[in-house]
Amino acid sequence: MTERVVLAYSGGLDTSVCIGWIAEETGAEVIAVAVDVGQGGEDLDVIRKRALACGAVAAEVADAKDEFADEYCLPAIKANALYMDRYPLVSALSRPVIVKHLVAAARKHGASTVAHGCTGKGNDQVRFEAGISALAPDLRCIAPVRDYAMTRDKAIAFAEKAGLPIATTRKSPFSIDQNAFGRAVETGFLEDLWNAPTEDVYAYTEDPAAARAADEVVVTFRAGAPVALDGRPVTVLQAVQQLNARAGAQGVGRIDMVEDRLVGIKSREVYEAPGALALITAHQELENVTVERELARYKRQVEQRWGELVYDGLWFSPLKRALDGFVDEANQVVSGDVRMTLHGGRAVVTGRRSAQSLYDFDLATYDTGDTFDQSLSKGFIELFGMSSKIAAKRDLAG
C-alpha cells in the first residue's frame, strides 16, 4: 500500500502547495484535514474541495468550535491562564485540538506520517509535534516549510507551475492566526519594536479611544464555567463569541507585547482577545470572593505553570493532566455573578455576588456591628513576627 501522510490543512497557499510538494518529495498520498476552531473565513466545504483539487486523495473537515471552547478554552478560563501575565494562549490552545483530529485521521486512513505547515523558528512546530508524539508515539512528523526550505517564492512558483486553484500573488504584510478565543498578529512593520500598531492591524476590536456609551454585562459562572450572560443561558462558545462582540466593540482585549518564545528568541506579538480577557477578568474576581486564601495563593502558582506548559506545547503531558485536576477542584466553589463595565478598552468589575462567598460583611465592616475581635490581633502579630524578631536581634548584635 502506498504510504500516506495526513496534512494539517488551512486552505491557504502554503498548505495547498504542501499537498503536491509532499507527494513529489516522498511519493506518499496526502490526506488533508481542516479543523474549524472559530477562525472564520471560508466555508469548510469550499476548503475540502480545494484540498482535493490540489491533489489530496481525501479531505476531511471538522467543525470543532464547541469542542475547542468546552475542552480547551474553558480549562484556560478556569486556570486564569495568561502567559507572561498577559497572553491568553490564543494560538497555543487551538493546536492540541487540531492535533487530536490529525491523529484520528491518521489512524482512520492508515497514515504513518503527519505533516504541518509551520516554520522552524516558531512555537507551533513544537506544539504540533510534541502533541502528536504524546498521542501517537509511532507517527512520524514532517514540516515541508521547515524541512524542505519551502520559501514563499518557491511555493508561488510551484503553485503556478502545477496550476493550483489558489491565489498566489496577494500577501498580507502580517502573519495572522485566529480562532474563537482571539487573534494573533505578527511580522511586517511590527517587527520594529518602535513602530506602533496601526488600526488596520485589528479586526476583533474597535479603537478604545473612540467616544461611545459604556456596556454593562453580568456574567454568571457555575463551578468556574460561564453559563449565562445578563441572565440568558449560554454555552462556553456563545459566551466567548458574544463577549468578543460586546467587549471588542469597546476596545477591550488589545495586547502588544514582546514575548519569550519557546525556541529561545523574543518576538513582538499583537493579540486581540476581548472575550477571553473579559471572562478571565470576571472569573478571577469571582475566585477572589469564593476561594479560600491558602488555596488561592497556591493556585496562582499553578496557573503560571499551567500556562507555561500549554504555551510550550505540552497540553497532553502528565504534569498538565495532574494540574487540570487541581484546577477543577479549586473551581468547584466558583459559582455566582460578576458585573462588569466594558468601556475605553477596559473590563472593570463593579459587582460580585455568590452563594459560595467567603466575604463576611460583619467581619469586614468598620461600622457599628463589627464582629471582628481586634484584641486578638496584638498576640497574633507577636507570634507571627517572632522568628524575624529573633533573627534581627542576632544580626544586629553581630
Looking up residue 96, the CATH number of its domain turns out to be 3.40.50.620
**Residue 248, pLDDT above cutoff 90:** yes
pLDDT at position 198:
95
Let me know if residue 39 belongs to a domain.
yes
* DSSP for residue 166: S
The fraction of the chain above a pLDDT of 90, given in percent, is: 80
pLDDT at position 352:
98
Let me know if residue 166 belongs to a domain.
yes
Structure pTM?
0.94
Quick: pLDDT tens for 86-101: 999 999 999 999 999 9
**Binding site annotation covers 123?**
yes
CA distances (Å), 80 to each of 123, 244, 251, 291, 317, in order?
Answer: 21, 17, 21, 14, 19
8 A C-beta contact, residue 7 and residue 113: no
Cell numbers representing residue 206 in the block: 474597535
Beta bridge partners of 33: 8, 60
- Catalytic status, residue 112: no
**Binding site annotation covers 11?**
yes
Let me know if residue 56 belongs to a domain.
yes
| pLDDT category of residue 157 using cuts at 50, 70 and 90 | confident
126 and 255, same domain (yes or no): no
59 and 141, same domain (yes or no): yes
Looking up residue 379, the CATH number of its domain turns out to be 1.20.5
User: In the chain, how many domains are there?
Assistant: 3
| pLDDT category of residue 148 using cuts at 50, 70 and 90 | confident
In whole angstroms, what is the distance from residue 344 CA to residue 342 CA? 7
Let me know if residue 154 belongs to a domain.
yes
CA distances (Å), 370 to each of 147, 290, 292, 293, 380, in order?
Answer: 69, 21, 21, 21, 19
8 A C-beta contact, residue 88 and residue 82: yes
**Binding site annotation covers 317?**
no
**Binding site annotation covers 9?**
yes
pLDDT at position 226:
98
Of the residues 48, 94, 124, 246, only one is catalytic, namely 124
Let me know if residue 300 belongs to a domain.
no
Mean pLDDT to the nearest integer, 25-34? 93
Q: Which of 42, 43, 37, 94 is nearest to 66 (CA)?
A: 37
User: What is the residue whose three cell numbers read 508524539?
Assistant: 133
DSSP codes of every residue in 88-144: --HHHHHHHHHHHHHHHHHHHHT-SEEE----SSSSHHHHHHHHHHHH-TT-EEE-H
pLDDT at position 394:
93
Burial label for 257, CB within 10 Å (0-12, 13-18, 19+), is middle
269 and 389, same domain (yes or no): no
**Binding site annotation covers 124?**
yes
pLDDT at position 14:
82
**Binding site annotation covers 148?**
no
In whole angstroms, what is the distance from residue 271 CA to residue 184 CA? 5
pLDDT at position 169:
55
**Residue 150, pLDDT above cutoff 80:** no
Of the residues 14, 36, 177, 312, only one is catalytic, namely 14
- Higher pLDDT among residues 324 and 18, named by residue: 324
- What single letter denotes the amino acid at residue 51? A
Quick: pLDDT tens for 181-240: 999 998 889 999 999 999 999 999 999 999 999 999 999 999 999 999 999 999 999 999
159 and 247, same domain (yes or no): no
Interacting residues of 344 by C-beta distance below 8 A, sequence separation 6+: 208, 209, 214, 250, 251
**Binding site annotation covers 138?**
no
- Catalytic status, residue 175: yes
**Binding site annotation covers 175?**
yes
201 and 156, same domain (yes or no): no
Domain boundary among 155, 171, 187: 171
213 and 344, same domain (yes or no): yes
| pLDDT category of residue 163 using cuts at 50, 70 and 90 | confident
Q: What does pLDDT average to over the chain?
A: 93
157 and 260, same domain (yes or no): no
- What single letter denotes the amino acid at residue 60? E
165 and 59, same domain (yes or no): yes
- Catalytic status, residue 321: no
pLDDT at position 188:
86
**Binding site annotation covers 220?**
no
In whole angstroms, what is the distance from residue 248 CA to residue 235 CA? 19
Mean pLDDT to the nearest integer, 165-178? 71
pLDDT at position 165:
73
Let me know if residue 360 belongs to a domain.
no
In whole angstroms, what is the distance from residue 166 CA to residue 226 CA? 40
Mean pLDDT to the nearest integer, 309-322? 98
Domain span at 382 = 368-397
| pLDDT category of residue 168 using cuts at 50, 70 and 90 | low
Domain boundary among 121, 142, 171: 171
8 A C-beta contact, residue 128 and residue 116: yes
Let me know if residue 390 belongs to a domain.
yes
26 and 146, same domain (yes or no): yes
Beta bridge partners of 232: 229
339 and 217, same domain (yes or no): yes
Domain boundary among 148, 171, 194: 171
Mean pLDDT to the nearest integer, 102-117? 96
**Binding site annotation covers 290?**
no
**Binding site annotation covers 335?**
no
Looking up residue 270, the CATH number of its domain turns out to be 3.90.1260.10
Of the residues 4, 48, 50, 95, only one is catalytic, namely 95
Let me know if residue 255 belongs to a domain.
yes
**Residue 108, pLDDT above cutoff 80:** yes
* DSSP for residue 83: B
Of the residues 175, 212, 222, 305, only one is catalytic, namely 175
In whole angstroms, what is the distance from residue 235 CA to residue 379 CA? 50
270 and 393, same domain (yes or no): no
18 and 98, same domain (yes or no): yes
**Binding site annotation covers 117?**
yes
- Catalytic status, residue 312: no
| pLDDT category of residue 12 using cuts at 50, 70 and 90 | confident
Quick: pLDDT tens for 365-388: 898 889 999 999 999 999 999 999
